[in-house]
C-alpha cells in the first residue's frame, strides 16, 4: 500500500527548474532510495517532502493527509521524521535529552506544569527517559546517553540523529545522506543498523545518498533523478546496470580518440614531480575524511581527481593548499616541504587553488578583480593577456563579478589564476552548475594552461570530459585512492570507473547478510520499543508464531500486508 | 517531590533568608538601591529566559519593565486598586506586549531582530512614555505619584515601607527564579533550548516554533514587567528616565557580562546595576596625591564597556558561568565528592 505519494511536483528557483513534474511512490515498510548526480534535484525533492521547500505545483500525500503545504512541525505530528546531512543535533544538550525533546514535543505537557514540576510532568519525564534509553540501546549508543551531543565525533552524531528521528515514533523516516563522511566499514555498519531499525521500529525510509554502496545494500527500490526529472526507477540491481543511469553519473561517452595526450604523458613520466603528496591524512573535527593519500603532479601535467561525492577529493585539495592542516603525511611542492604551511605562503610558491564556488569577490568589477593580482604578486601585472584569452571578459570588464553568469565567473577565476603565472593550478568542481556547452569551453582553457607549461590538478564530476583533458587520473573511494593511471587507460575501462561510482564492489553475500543485526539486544528494553498491541491480540500472535515456528514479527507483517491488500 | 526539587526549593529559601537580611542596617538611599537591584534583577532574569534559554535577542527589555511600571502606576493612581492587583495588571499588559514584539521574531533572527527590538525600545521611549497623547497612561510630565498604596490591605508608604517592598520583591524574585531553574531541566525548557541550538531541527522534531517563540517573548516580557510594576511603589513615582533605551542596552550588556544562561547571574547583575553607580557618586570624589577627582555616573558606563571586553576574552561564559565551572573543576580535581552534583541552571 502506498504510504507516501508524490505527484507531478514542480519547483522553480528563479529561472531554474529544480524539479520538473516528479512523481514518486513509497510503500509501507519499504526502504526507498533516491539517487542522482550533483544538482539533479534530490535535495529539493527531499526538502519538499520534509517541508523546508514549498513546491510551485504538484501534491504530496502521506497516508491520505496532504503534506504539500503543511508546516514543518505538523509533519512530525503525522509521523514523518528526518535526519540532516549537516548534523543538526542540539549540541548543548545530552544525547538523552536530544531524544526526549521530540518525544514530549508531541505530548500533552505544558510549560507551566513543567515549571511547577507537577507530578504529571514528572511521570511523563520518567517514561520518556526510559524510552530514550531503549532506543539508544538498539542503536548501540548506550555509553553516550549522558554526553553532550556537540562533543561527539561526527560518525556517532549521525547515529544519534537517527535515534532522535526514531524518538518521535515516526512511520516514515527521511534520511539525508546518512553515509556522508563515513568510510567503507562504517557504511557497512550503517546498512546493518538501518535494517535493524526497520525491523524493530516498523518504519519506512526514504534514503537520499551519493554513496551507492549503501543504497545498493539497503534499498528495496530506487528512483534516479537527473536534471530535475525522474530518469529511471527499479530494483537496485537493475539500476546499477542501466546505461541511462551510468551516463547520467559519468557524462556522455566521449568519442574523441586520444592521440597526442598519450605521448605527452609518456614524455613526462621521468620528470621530477612538481607536487608530491605522500601518505596524507586530514579531516574536520572528530572526522577523518582522507587517509593514506599518495599523489604526484609533474610540471605541465594535467591530473584529474574523480570519484563519488564525499570521497575526499575536495579535502585533499584543501590539505595540499594549506586551507586545512594534514594530520599525517607529507606535502612537497617545488622541492620544498610545505606540510602544514599557511595557505598564503604556499600560494607565493606558485600554487593557486580555485575552490568550489570560485572564491571571487562579488562586488568588484572584472577589471578590479584581475588588477588585484598585481597586489598579491607584488609587481605590476599586465592584465591584457587575460582579455585575449577570454574575449567575453573584455566586453564585461566593468561589470561586477557577482552579476556575471556562472560560466563567466569561472572564466574570471581562471584568468586571475593564469595572470599570476603559477606553476600549479588546482581547480575544484570547475563545471558545477554550468551548462554542457560552457563546460566544453572551459576545458579548452585547461589545454591552454598545459600549453603554457602550467600544471593542473582537477577535481571534477564530469568524468568523461575530465579524462578527455587529463594526462593521468586518480579515482577516489571512501577517503582513499582506489584506482590511478593514465587517463586513456581509465577511460577505456569505463566499467571499472563506473564501479567506483555505482558500488559494484558490493557483493551479493554482503547484501544478504545485511539483514542481520550485529549486536546483542536486551529483551526487556526491546519490549518498550516494540509496538503496543492489545494483550489478547499479542497472545494470539505468539500462539500462532509458536505453532508455525517462526518469529512473531513475521506473522504480524504478514497479517498487516493482508489488511493492506483488502 | 524529588530530592533534586527539594534541594532547589531549599536553595531558594536560603537565598531569600540571606538576601533579606542584607539591607537592614542600610540608610534609606541604600535600601532604595536594594529594592531597585531586585527590579533590575527581574529585567536580567527575563533575558536569562529569552536569550539564555531560547537564544532570541531583545534590546527592549526595559520597555517591558516600563510598561509594567506605568500600568501599575495608572491602576493605583486612577483606579485606586490594591497594589497586588496593579502588579498583576502590569504583568498581563507586559505579557501581551511581549507576544506582539515576538511576532517579528518568528521571521527574524540575529542582528535584524536586535535592530527591530531596538526600534521598539526607541518608539516607546520617545513616542509613548514621553508623549502627550499617552498622558492617560503615563500620567503626564510628572508621571504617576504613588505616595501611598495598599498591599494585602496594609498601607505601604514608599518612603517608610521600603523594607517591606524589598521583601515582597525578593520573595517573588526567588519564586520566579526557582520556576526558571525548574523550567530549564523540564520538557518545555528542553524545547526552548532546542530552538536555541537549531531551529530547523526543532521544527522538524515537532516543536511548534510559532507557539514557543511567542510564549518565550511573552513570558520574558512578563518577568521584566513584574519587576517594573514594583517601581512606582519603591520610587514613589514613575518617570520615563529609568526605562529609556539605554537601560535596555545595559540589561543586554550586563546579562552577557554576568552570564546570560544562569539564573543566579541575574541577581548578581541586578545588584551591580543598582549599587555600583550609587557607590561611585557617593564616594567617588576626593583628592588623590594632591589632585581632586570625581567619578561620575559616566564612569560607570565606561566601566561596563571595559568589563564587557575583559569578560568576553577571559570569562566567555559570563562571570557567574565561568566562576561556577572553575569552582567545580577545582573541586573535582581535589577529588572531593561533596554530596550530589546539583546543576544550578
DSSP B301-314: HHHHHHHHHHHHHH
Locate A457 and state its grid cell: 590538478
Query: Considering only CB atoms, which chain B residues are within 8 Å of A52?
Result: 200
Query: Considering only CB atoms, which chain B residues are within 8 Å of A168?
Result: 205-206
- Asked if A148 is an interface residue toward chain B (Cβ–Cβ < 8 A), one would say no
Give the pairing of strands A424-428 and A336-337. unpaired
pLDDT digit string (tens) for B270-285?
999 999 888 888 887 7
Q: What is the pLDDT of residue A257?
A: 44
**CB within 8 Å: A115 and B198:** no
Q: Does A553 have pLDDT greater than 70?
A: no
Please, which residues have CB within 8 angstroms of residue A139's CB and are 6 or more apart in sequence? Answer: A159, A162, A163, A166, A193, A197
Give the domain ranges of chain A. 1-79+170-250, 272-502, 533-566
**CB within 8 Å: A102 and B187:** no
Query: Considering only CB atoms, which chain A residues are within 8 Å of B186?
Result: 114-115, 117, 121, 125
Backbone φ and ψ of A205, nearest 5°: -140, 145
A50-60 residues labelled b (16+ CB within 10 A) or e (exposed):
bbebebeebeb
SS3 annotation, A463-528: HHHHHHHCCEEEEEECCEEEEEEEHHHHHHCHHHHHHHHHCCCCCHHHHHHCCCCCCCCCHHHHHH
Distance from CA of A119 to the nearest CA of B (A): 8
Please, which residues have CB within 8 angstroms of residue B212's CB and are 6 or more apart in sequence? Answer: B54, B188, B191, B192, B195
Rounded CA separation A474/A41 (Å):
27
DSSP letters for B251-295: HHHHHHHH-TT-HHHHHHHHHHHHHHHHHHHHHSEEEETTEEEE-
Rounded CA separation B286/B280 (Å):
11
Query: Considering only CB atoms, which chain B residues are within 8 Å of A88?
Result: 198, 200-201, 204
Looking at domain A272-502, which CATH architecture does it have?
Answer: 3-Layer(aba) Sandwich (3.40)
- A·B CB contacts under 8 A: 110
Residue with cell 575544484: A428
- Asked if A340 is an interface residue toward chain B (Cβ–Cβ < 8 A), one would say no
Geometric angle at alpha carbon A330, from A326 and A333, rounded to 5°: 105
Smallest CA-to-CA distance from B67 within B40, B97, B45, B46 is with B97
Locate A279 and state its grid cell: 601518505
For residue B48, the 8-state DSSP code is I
Give the pLDDT mean for A40-47: 86
Query: SS3 of B55, please?
Result: coil
The residue length of chain A stands at 566
Domains of chain B, each with CATH number or no CATH? 3-283+293-299 (1.10.3470)
Q: What is the pLDDT of residue A526?
A: 44
Query: Considering only CB atoms, which chain B residues are within 8 Å of A107?
Result: 187
Q: What is the pLDDT of residue A283?
A: 82
Give the pLDDT mean for A155-161: 87
Please, which residues have CB within 8 angstroms of residue A557's CB and are 6 or more apart in sequence? Answer: A29
Give the pLDDT mean for A35-61: 86
Distance from CA of B316 to the nearest CA of A (A): 15
Nearest CA in chain A to B195: A90
CATH number of A1-79+170-250: 3.40.50.300
Mutation to test the B interface, candidates A82, A91, A98, A111, most B Cβ within 10 Å: A111
**CB within 8 Å: B206 and A73:** yes
Q: Does A518 have pLDDT greater than 80?
A: no
**CB within 8 Å: A102 and B219:** no
Residue with cell 515582597: B168
pLDDT digit string (tens) for A448-499?
888 888 899 988 877 777 888 888 889 888 888 888 888 877 777 766 666 6
Query: SS3 of A351, please?
Result: strand
The closest CB to that of A90, out of B197, B203, B206, belongs to: B197
pLDDT band at B168 (very low <50, low <70, confident <90, very high): very high
Q: What is the pLDDT of residue A168?
A: 87
Give the pLDDT mean for B35-46: 96
C-alpha distance from residue A426 to each of A289, A351, A367, A477, A512 (Å):
19, 8, 23, 20, 42
Q: CB–CB of B53/B203 below 8 Å?
A: no
- Would A1-79+170-250 and A272-502 be classified into the same CATH topology? yes
pTM over 0.80: no
CB-side exposure of A117: number of CA atoms within 13 Å? 16
Smallest CA-to-CA distance from B128 within B110, A204, B119 is with B119
Look over chain B and give the mean of its residue pLDDT values, rounded to a whole number: 87
**How many of the other CB atoms lie within 10 Å of CB of A295?**
21
pLDDT digit string (tens) for B245-266?
999 999 999 999 999 999 999 9
Smallest CA-to-CA distance from B304 within B319, B323, B294 is with B319
**CB within 8 Å: A121 and B186:** yes
For residue A56, the 8-state DSSP code is S
Amino acid at each position: 500500500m502506498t504510504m507516501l505519494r508524490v505527484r507531478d511536483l514542480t519547483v522553480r528557483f528563479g529561472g531554474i527548474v529544480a524539479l520538473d513534474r516528479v512523481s514518486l511512490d513509497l510503500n509501507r515498510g519499504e526502504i526507498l532510495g533516491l539517487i542522482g548526480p550533483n544538482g539533479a534535484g534530490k535535495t529539493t525533492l527531499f526538502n519538499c517532502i520534509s517541508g523546508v521547500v514549498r513546491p510551485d505545483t504538484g501534491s504530496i500525500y502521506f497516508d491520505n493527509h496532504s503534506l504539500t503545504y503543511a508546516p514543518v512541525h505538523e509533519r512530525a505530528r503525522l509521523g514523518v521524521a528526518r535526519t540532516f546531512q549537516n548534523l543538526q543535533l542540539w549540541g548543548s544538550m545530552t544525547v538523552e535529552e536530544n531524544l526526549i525533546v521530540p518525544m514530549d514535543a508531541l505530548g500533552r505537557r505544558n510549560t507551566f506544569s513543567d515549571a511547577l514540576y507537577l507530578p504529571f510532568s514528572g511521570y511523563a519525564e520518567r517514561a520518556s527517559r526510559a524510552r530514550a534509553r531503549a532506543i539508544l540501546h538498539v542503536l548501540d549508543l548506550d555509553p553516550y546517553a549522558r554526553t553532550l551531543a556537540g562533543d561527539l565525533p561526527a560518525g556517532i552524531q549521525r547515529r544519534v540523529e537517527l535515534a532522535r528521528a526514531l524518538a518521535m515514533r515516526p512511520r516514515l523516516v527521511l534520511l539525508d545522506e546518512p553515509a556522508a563522511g563515513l568510510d567503507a566499514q562504517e557504511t557497512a555498519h550503517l546498512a546493518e543498523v538501518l535494517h535493524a531499525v526497520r525491523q524493530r521500529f516498523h518504519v519506512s525510509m526514504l534514503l537520499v545518498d551519493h554513496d551507492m554502496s549503501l543504497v545498493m545494500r539497503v534499498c528495496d527500490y530506487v528512483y534516479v533523478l537527473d536534471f530535475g526529472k525522474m530518469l529511471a526507477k527499479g530494483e537496485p540491481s537493475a539500476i546499477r546496470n542501466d546505461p541511462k543511469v551510468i551516463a547520467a553519473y559519468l557524462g556522455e561517452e566521449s568519442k574523441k580518440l586520444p592521440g597526442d595526450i598519450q605521448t605527452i604523458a609518456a614524455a613526462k613520466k621521468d620528470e621530477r614531480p612538481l607536487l608530491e603528496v605522500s601518505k596524507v591524512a586530514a579531516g574536520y573535527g572528530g572526522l577523518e575524511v582522507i587517509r593514506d593519500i599518495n599523489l604526484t603532479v609533474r610540471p605541465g601535467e594535467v591530473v584529474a581527481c574523480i570519484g563519488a561525492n564525499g570521497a575526499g577529493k575536495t579535502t585533499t585539495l584543501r590539505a595540499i593548499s594549506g586551507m586545512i592542516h594534514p594530520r599525517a603525511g607529507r606535502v612537497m611542492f617545488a622541492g620544498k616541504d610545505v606540510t602544514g604551511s599557511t595557505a598564503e605562503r604556499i600560494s607565493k610558491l606558485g600554487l593557486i587553488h580555485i575552490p568550489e564556488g570560485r572564491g571571487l569577490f562579488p562586488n568588484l568589477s572584472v577589471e578590479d578583480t584581475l588588477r588585484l593580482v598585481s597586489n598579491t604578486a607584488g609587481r605590476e601585472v599586465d592584465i591584457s593577456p587575460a582579455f585575449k584569452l577570454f574575449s567575453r571578459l573584455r566586453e564585461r570588464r566593468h561589470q561586477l563579478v557577482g552579476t556575471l553568469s556562472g560560466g563567466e565567473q569561472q572564466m574570471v577565476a581562471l584568468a586571475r589564476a593564469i595572470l599570476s603565472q603559477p606553476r600549479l593550478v588546482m581547480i575544484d568542481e570547475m563545471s558545477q552548475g554550468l551548462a554542457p556547452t560552457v563546460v566544453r569551453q572551459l576545458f579548452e582553457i585547461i589545454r591552454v594552461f598545459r600549453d603554457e607549461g602550467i600544471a593542473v590538478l582537477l577535481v571534477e564530476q564530469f568524468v568523461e570530459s575530465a579524462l578527455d583533458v587529463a594526462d593521468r587520473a586518480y579515482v577516489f573511494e571512501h577517503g582513499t585512492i582506489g584506482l590511478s593511471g593514465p587517463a586513456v587507460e581509465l577511460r577505456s575501462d569505463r566499467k571499472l570507473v563506473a564501479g567506483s561510482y555505482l558500488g559494484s564492489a558490493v557483493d551479493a553475500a554482503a547484501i544478504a547478510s545485511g539483514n542481520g543485526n550485529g549486536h546483542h539486544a536486551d529483551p526487556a528494553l526491546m519490549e518498550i520499543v516494540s509496538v503496543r498491541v492489545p494483550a489478547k491480540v499479542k497472545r494470539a500472535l505468539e500462539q500462532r508464531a509458536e505453532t508455525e515456528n517462526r518469529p512473531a514479527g513475521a506473522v504480524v507483517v504478514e497479517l498487516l500486508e493482508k489488511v493492506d491488500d483488502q | 517531590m524529588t530530592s533534586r526539587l527539594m534541594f532547589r526549593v531549599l536553595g531558594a529559601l536560603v537565598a531569600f533568608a540571606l538576601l533579606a537580611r542584607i539591607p537592614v542596617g542600610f540608610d534609606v538611599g541604600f535600601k532604595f538601591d536594594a529594592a531597585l537591584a531586585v527590579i533590575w534583577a527581574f529585567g536580567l532574569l527575563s533575558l536569562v529566559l529569552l536569550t539564555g534559554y531560547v537564544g532570541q535577542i531583545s534590546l527592549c527589555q526595559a520597555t517591558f519593565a516600563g510598561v509594567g511600571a506605568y500600568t501599575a502606576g495608572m491602576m493605583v493612581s486612577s483606579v485606586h486598586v490594591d497594589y497586588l492587583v496593579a502588579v498583576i495588571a502590569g504583568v498581563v499588559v507586559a505579557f501581551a506586549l511581549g507576544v506582539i514584539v515576538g511576532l517579528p521574531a518568528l521571521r527574524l533572527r540575529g542582528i535584524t531582530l536586535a535592530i527591530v527590538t531596538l526600534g521598539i525600545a526607541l518608539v516607546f521611549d520617545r513616542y509613548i512614555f514621553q508623549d502627550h497623547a499617552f498622558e492617560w497612561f503615563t500620567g503626564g510630565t510628572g508621571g504617576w505619584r504613588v505616595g501611598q498604596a495598599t498591599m494585602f490591605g496594609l498601607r505601604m508608604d514608599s518612603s517608610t515601607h521600603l523594607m517591606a517592598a524589598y521583601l515582597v520583591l525578593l520573595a517573588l524574585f526567588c519564586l520566579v527564579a526557582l520556576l526558571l531553574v525548574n523550567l530549564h531541566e523540564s520538557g518545555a525548557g528542553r524545547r526552548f533550548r532546542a530552538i536555541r541550538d537549531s531551529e530547523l531541527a526543532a521544527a522538524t522534531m515537532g516543536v511548534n516554533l510559532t507557539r514557543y517563540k511567542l510564549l518565550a517573548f511573552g513570558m520574558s516580557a512578563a518577568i521584566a514587567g513584574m519587576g517594573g510594576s514594583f517601581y512606582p511603589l519603591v520610587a514613589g513615582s514613575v518617570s520615563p528616565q529609568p526605562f529609556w533605551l539605554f537601560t535596555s542596552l545595559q540589561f543586554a550588556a550586563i546579562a552577557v557580562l554576568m552570564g546570560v544562561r544562569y539564573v543566579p547571574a541575574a541577581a548578581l547583575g541586578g545588584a551591580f546595576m543598582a549599587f555600583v553607580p550609587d557607590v561611585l557618586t557617593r564616594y567617588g570624589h576626593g583628592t588623590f596625591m594632591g589632585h581632586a577627582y570625581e567619578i561620575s555616573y559616566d564612569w560607570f558606563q565606561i566601566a561596563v564597556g571595559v568589563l564587557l571586553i575583559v569578560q568576553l576574552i577571559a570569562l566567555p561564559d559570563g562571570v557567574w558561568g565561568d566562576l561556577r565551572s572553575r569552582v567545580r573543576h577545582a573541586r573535582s580535581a581535589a577529588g572531593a565528592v561533596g554530596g550530589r552534583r546539583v546543576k544550578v541552571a
